[in-house]
Homo-oligomer: A and B are copies of this chain.
């Protein structure tokens, strides 16, 4: 039976969920699919491209978000965080794919966030940067949160400092900081 891109991505996703990024290797994935490692390179140019496809598979849509510009930013960020937290090492995977420019979904999110920033009154030359700043925050915060979560789940019973409590409330606070910053720049032209 023929191997399709979507089968590879599905198998990679379940490997990720079960064992994490360190065990998401081309060889292990090939073994899981009962093909030779080389077979994957017929469908994907390299590992980065495959990881980008996995990232896009686990990310949600970002188009059906409505409301004022700051409501949209908040909703988009919570949606991104939720998706990342739903998969083992999700934040790490998406961060890497975003940095490598291999995630179409993240590029699209940037566009949608940029539009919200423009609506907030940020000059169009700076809107993309405002959008990127928001993305850096969500990825950084969530990667941090997730590594602590997974560390705890792995049985490390070290008592965490106060600041790891109420992660959602803390996430919202940091987000509000960015939204306020964008609002303060409403009168910035570019």
Binding site for B on A (CB under 8 A): 99, 125-126, 128-130, 132-133, 135-137, 139-141, 143-144, 147, 162-163, 170, 173-174, 176-185, 188
Question: What is the distance, in angstroms, from A12's C-beta to the closest C-beta of chain B?
Answer: 22
B129, B136, B184: the one contacting A181 at CB < 8 Å is B184
Contact of B177 with A130 in the complex, beta carbons under 8 Å: yes
27 chain-A/chain-B pairs, Cβ below 8 angstroms:
A99-B143, A99-B147, A125-B162, A125-B163, A126-B170, A128-B163, A129-B163, A129-B170, A129-B173, A129-B174, A132-B140, A132-B174, A133-B140, A133-B141, A133-B174, A133-B177, A133-B178, A136-B136, A136-B137, A136-B141, A176-B185, A177-B185, A178-B178, A179-B181, A180-B181, A180-B184, A181-B181
B140, B173, B181: the one contacting A139 at CB < 8 Å is B140
Chain B residues contacting A99 (CB-CB under 8 Å) are 143-144, 147
B144, B147, B177, B185: the one contacting A182 at CB < 8 Å is B177
A170 to B179, CA, bound (A): 18
19 new A-B pairs (CB below 8 Å) besides A177-B184, A179-B181?
A99-B147, A125-B162, A125-B163, A126-B173, A128-B163, A129-B163, A129-B170, A130-B174, A133-B177, A133-B178, A136-B140, A173-B188, A176-B181, A177-B181, A178-B178, A178-B181, A180-B181, A180-B185, A184-B184
A172 to B174, CA, bound (A): 19
Q: Sorted from nearest, which 6 A-B pairs have the closest CB atoms?
A: A136-B140, A181-B181, A180-B184, A177-B181, A180-B181, A133-B174
